[in-house]
Chains A and B, each alone.
Chain A
Amino acid sequence: MQVTHRLELFPEHSVTILLFNRVGNAAALRKKAMEGAIEGALINPVMIVDPFQILVAANKAVHLHKIGKMKTKSLYAEIIFSLSPNNNISDAFKKFGISDSDTAVLIVLVVDREKPVNLEDIASQVEGQQVSLDELPQLTDTDKVKKMYKITPQEEKMNTLLDSIVCRMSTKDVL
């Protein structure tokens, strides 16, 4: 159902990705996330092409968190920010975070080995149905994604969308 992956470079952390559909309380969830009441990053699945994209963002966020060089205030905010191809934090939240009218929500948890996080606890707060991540492609809006990441037509011909996105995400601060 959900996907869990242990970060190779940070073995004490593993990333769990859950997908919910037919969500009714997006507005309440967003509020809770803003207040920091939810132990997870709430992401709009429309902008996500593959769980690998989330893993790359989470890996980068954990790396920056460890060296104290995060641009945002929390690890979960940093994950959302890492998804964005540009350096504007509020824009990242607007595009990649959830909005009140969303019916699908992706929740990303970073679990510390010492502090196990309760999946049921998170799932119970969502008024919706947890679905397998295999359903993610149906929810993705590829046109929106291409526009956001500014994928050029010649790039599309040569590479997969996912590779182009991931490349931009990881080189954003080096440019």
Chain B
Amino acid sequence: MAAAKADAGSVRSGMAGTVCPAVDEAGAAGPAMEEAGAAGPVEPEPEVPPPPLPGLQLVRQGAEAHVYRGLFLGRAAVAKLRVPKRYRHPALEERLSRRRTAQEARSLLRCRRAGISAPAVYFVDSVTNSIYLEDIVDSVTVQDHINSVQRSGNCTSSLVPLAEKMGELLARMHDEDLIHGDLTTCNILLRPPTEKLDLVLIDFGLSFISGLPEDKGVDLYVLEKAFLSTHPDTEALFQALLKTYAAASKKSGPVIKRLDEVRLRGRKRSMIG
């Protein structure tokens, strides 16, 4: 079952399309790959043996992959082991699996080359299409951070610098024509100490390369939906994010325009204009 087991407050290396477990499952608007444990599965989940890493800890058991933390070659690492989908034709399954893993690895490398913080790839297992990545130790997801700030009663405006940093980061990513594909606040990590606002992007399983303002607009829209539904009363924050994005990105004009158009589409929206 895709019941995401929340690891309270600790490192999150989410996987493609999974609902962030912290606050509200129903709210997530990310491209949901799997129902949040709604309907029961017909057959039990296929066996995905855990990797034999010392200090092994299951972080998340999702639809796309099982995520573990442990020591790999002496370093703190995250292992994403893909879950094979038995209902798919095996040839298709193999091809899809391989392509997703390759996309993820490629995007991570592309990020690094552009100076965008993303985990380093330690090993790509071409047989199981699993990937072993750097573990950003003691990090918190932006989602957890925002929640804790809001819960402790602090004014949301203290989060504006964070939102601006996020806007900057996304601008740099989109300027590299890299579309994340699953932008949510649990796919952005804050390296310790949190005051430094050192952000790391993770989970590039649904990423792809595109220069189209449409794709970038949709990427931002996904984040907007996820942001506003998971974190109440943060419209101003997201506005600040967009403002910085527009200022930092050289190609932002058409993207923001597209974003406005995309907002008019979607569910429960009139198709006029």
Interface residues on chain A, number (Cβ under 8 Å): 29
CB of A175 within 8 A of CB of B109, answer: yes
Any chain A CB within 8 A of the CB of B51?
A: yes
In Å, the complex CA distance between A34 and B193 comes to: 50
Contact digits for A1-43, partner B, Cβ 8 Å, 1 yes 0 no: 0000101110100000000000000000000000000000000
Q: Which residues of B contact A (CB under 8 A)?
A: 51-54, 70-75, 101-102, 105-106, 108-109, 112-117, 120-127, 134
In Å, the complex CA distance between A170 and B119 comes to: 13
Q: Could you say which residues of chain B place their CB within 8 Å of the CB of A119?
A: none
In Å, the complex CA distance between A5 and B71 comes to: 12
Any chain B CB within 8 A of the CB of A60?
A: yes
Tell me the total A-B contact number using a CB cutoff of 8 A: 87
Most chain A CB neighbours (cut-off 10 Å) among B105, B114, B127: B105
CB of B116 within 8 A of CB of A158, answer: yes
Any chain B CB within 8 A of the CB of A154?
A: yes
Chain B interface, >50% SS class: mixed
CB of A9 within 8 A of CB of B52, answer: yes
CB of A8 within 8 A of CB of B112, answer: no
Of residues 160 through 175 on chain A, the ones whose CB sits less than 8 Å from some CB of chain B are: 163-164, 166-168, 170-171, 173-175
Q: Which residues of A contact B (CB under 8 A)?
A: 5, 7-9, 11, 52, 55-56, 59-60, 63, 67, 69, 152, 154-155, 157-159, 163-164, 166-168, 170-171, 173-175
CB of A63 within 8 A of CB of B123, answer: yes
Task: Please tell me which one of the listed residues B113, B124, B127 contacts residue A174 in the complex, with CB atoms under 8 A apart.
Answer: B124
CB of A8 within 8 A of CB of B123, answer: no
